[in-house]
Chain A
Amino acid sequence: MSSLTLKQLSPGQKGIVIDVRGDGILRRRLLEMGLVPGSRVQVERYAPLGDPVEIRMQGYFLTLRKEEAGMVEVACKEEN
């Protein structure tokens, strides 16, 4: 297991949210949309122009800009 931010995952990679950095509105929104410590996420794809990113949560899909994805710390298994 290694600690990364959500932005560093490539499509298909899964992870578990460890922490959400930053403060104020941004973190609040991330938490409210379900990116709370312990939740499982998977990067689905990047938009055709490279940003934002689409992620799969349990039961729904979210999209956020890379900048915001950089605030979400995740733990993920190393790819073989």
Chain B
Amino acid sequence: MQRRELTIALAGNPNCGKTTLFNKLTGSRYHVGNYPGVTVEQKIGEVEFQEYRLKLIDLPGIYGLTAYSPDEVVARNVLLKEKIDVVINVVDATSLERGLNLTVQLKELGIPMVLALNMVDAAREIGLTVDCTKLSQCLHFPAVPVVGTKGDGFPGLLQAVIRAAEGNSEFNHIFYGAEIEKAINTVTLMISENLDVQYDWRIKESFLLRWLAVKLLESDRAVKAEINTLIQDGKLEEAVQKGFREVFRLLGKDPEAVIINQRYSAARKIFKGVVSENKWKRITVTEKIDKIILNKYFGLPIFFVIMWILFRLIFSLGGPFTNAIEWGFSSLSTLLITFLPEGLFRSILVDGIIGGVGGVITFLPNILLLFLGIALLESTGYMARAAFIMDRMMTKAGLHGKSFIPMLLGFGCSIPALMATRILENPRDRIVTMLVVPLMSCGARLPVYTLLAAAFFETDIAGSVVFSIYVAGMILAVIMAKVLRSSVVKGPSEPFIMELPPYRLPVMKSVLIQMINRAKMYLKKAGTVILLASIIIWFFFSFSFSGNKGLIQYYPAAPEKSIAGDIGHALEPVLTPLGLDWKSGVVLLSGLAAKEVVVSTMGTLYSIQDNTDLSSAQDGSTNGLTQRVREQSGLTPLTSYVFMLFVLIYIPCISTVAVFHQETGTWRWPLFLVGYTFALAWIVCFVVYRGGLFLFYS
């Protein structure tokens, strides 16, 4: 049977339960992608209902249809430019009035609508009942009560959607008052005279023209820019300016303010007419919890405990799985080494491909748990509270309250940390946070510090030496955030106006689905880059320019003779001012694959005859290696400290760079990261080395 296809968009405020409703409707069969160029997640699912196939698009949660946040731009573009048959406007019954403000704006687009009044059960609990029949009458389109978590009211909702798609929906505009209406009419006329094609907007022409006129009077920058490319004579601009002046002369306010106020009063009027209880809300569970969670004295300690649990969840619970995966890959390598003859093929398989794939999959348990943690924090409502608590501290560094979570995760691993920056909505805050996250010393760098600290410092101060590196990373992160925010990523900071949503029990199924979908994206996107880069690094370490013929030759297990060795030598002029030599260059180069590789490269470089300790070096029993590093590396306590600092700051591992690329969608920012961290590492190390020479050796 041929089913008729309808495209349905789900629109609503953040926290209105839209995603839960979407998951429940689609039975969690949907795919996640990113909207091109932005980091807003796109979810599309399908529902079959009677003889229809409904394609559901879950728009990002929005409060309005301005073009200020990426979420709003995305939602608006989908509504305007894709052929949407029906909009399901999801409204949380417990904050109906604000929800209706969006409804009023959506209605202006002239797309058939159905209002899904969500969480009617929760509203009833706090003594609020909404008259849906009356609401439908006021809105001129159906309003259907639903409970998204349970699926109550879904057949009725879908039936209404189909009727809206097939029938003739009736629309009425908001009346913005005589003064504004006059200006709207003039501008509408002007646009219709000059705009001959419907361009790529897909909404009905009469609505489009009026909508564009309203937006121009609201000083909407995106609409202005787009219209200006279509209509170039100055008449339209003039008409808009004239409308502006008229409204200001008559009302003493600019049209923008009047329009917003009118929308709100329209929403309020509807609200007052349909709710039976309109009193100040009673004490709810949320308020009781917040009395403790946001308490002046307990708030911060509770926050730190929750962060500690999150950190432990991701890295400790993930640890055994990570180890198991590593064990699996090393067993596979051993197996291949035993059965395959030595040579190029075995090397590329074992060191290149398995190394690379292993590198990708090793992070998977941590990433799954990270997404689980974030989904839990978000769906329970704690995420917004965390931002509330930390905002003061983070603003001082030019960051946002929510930046704290990715930065904390950076101590475990930069990759989940970079992914966690998705919780930041403002792109500027997000980029700055991403750029400083790698300065938080990740777990893979610790073995390097412990090895060097043990080799060059007394046992009783080695711990403090390592700790000082961590502190240095944090201080640099704060300084760099400040510097970047006032130079490269300049711009007004996002106003911090946020809802503290009511606490809710997470719906485990949708939390898990979300986690798995996000992890899939990681594997697909970052995975390929990491694999490719691992093979390139393997190539540098396994091949050498042969002396006599100038050809590239397979030359395994001798870093000093490989291309990497040559690069190390080539880097020497850069490293000498820091008191480091070409060997450090080779070691640092290997660290690009993964920071912990630094330790094993040191093992190879400093033990030409005997490399039996290599594997044990990573387990912590570094005695043999410690001694060799002390004796053969040519480092002093000062230069070893400089080296540790360099490892802390310089170019993060390729996996981090790959994820940075995946998350930003460009190569511009990851390349900037590579450049700036290298420069910063050099400058800091130069200052410390020269300062150290002056203090201790002069």
Contacts and interface: CB of A to CB of B under 8 A. Distances in A.
Interface in B88-107: 94-98, 101
B495 A62 contact: no
5 contacts: A32-B260, A51-B395, A59-B98, A62-B497, A65-B496
A30 B392 contact: no
The 10 A-B residue pairs with the shortest CB-CB distance in the complex, in nearest-first order: A49-B392, A48-B299, A61-B500, A36-B264, A60-B95, A59-B95, A32-B64, A64-B497, A31-B260, A65-B496
B280 interface: yes
B222 interface: no
Interface in A24-73: 25-34, 36-38, 40, 44-52, 54, 57-65, 68
Contacts of B384: 63
A46 B68 CA distance: 27
Given A28-B68, A48-B296, A59-B96, A68 B101 contact: no
A27 B388 CA distance: 20
A34 B94 contact: no
B497 A30 contact: yes
A54 B492 CA distance: 22
A28 B260 contact: yes
Interface of A: 25-34, 36-38, 40, 44-52, 54, 57-65, 68
Interface in B283-332: 286, 290, 294-297, 299-300
Given A32-B64, A32-B101, A34-B101, A47 B495 contact: no
Query: Chain B: interface secondary structure?
Result: helix
Contact of A47 (B261, B391, B497): B391
Contact of A37 (B94, B261, B395, B497): B261
Contacts of B552: none
B266 to A, nearest CB: 11
B392 A51 contact: yes
B108 to A, nearest CB: 15
B389 A68 contact: no
Interface of B: 63-64, 66, 68, 94-98, 101, 128, 256-257, 260-261, 264-265, 268, 280-281, 286, 290, 294-297, 299-300, 384, 388-389, 391-393, 395, 492, 495-502
A38 B300 CA distance: 34
A25 B222 CA distance: 13
Contact of A52 (B101, B286, B388, B499): B388
B492 A25 contact: yes
Residue among A25, A50, A68 with max Cβ neighbours from chain B (10 Å): A25
Contact of A60 (B64, B300, B499): B499
Contacts of A50: 392
Contact of B495 (A49, A57, A59, A68): A68
A33 B268 CA distance: 13
Given A30-B495, A64-B495, 16 more contacts: A25-B68, A28-B66, A29-B68, A32-B101, A34-B98, A38-B268, A40-B280, A48-B299, A48-B300, A54-B388, A59-B95, A60-B499, A61-B290, A62-B499, A62-B500, A65-B391
Contacts of A64: 495-498
Contacts of A59: 94-98, 128, 281
B622 to A, nearest CB: 42
A65 to B, nearest CB: 5
B497 A33 contact: yes
B499 A47 contact: no
A49 B389 contact: yes
Best-surrounded residue of B101, B256, B290, B496 (most CB of chain A within 10 A): B496
B395 to A, nearest CB: 8
A36 B384 CA distance: 23
Contacts of B502: 60
Nearest to B391: A52
A44 B280 CA distance: 13
Nearest to A71: B495
Contacts of B297: 48
Nearest to A55: B500
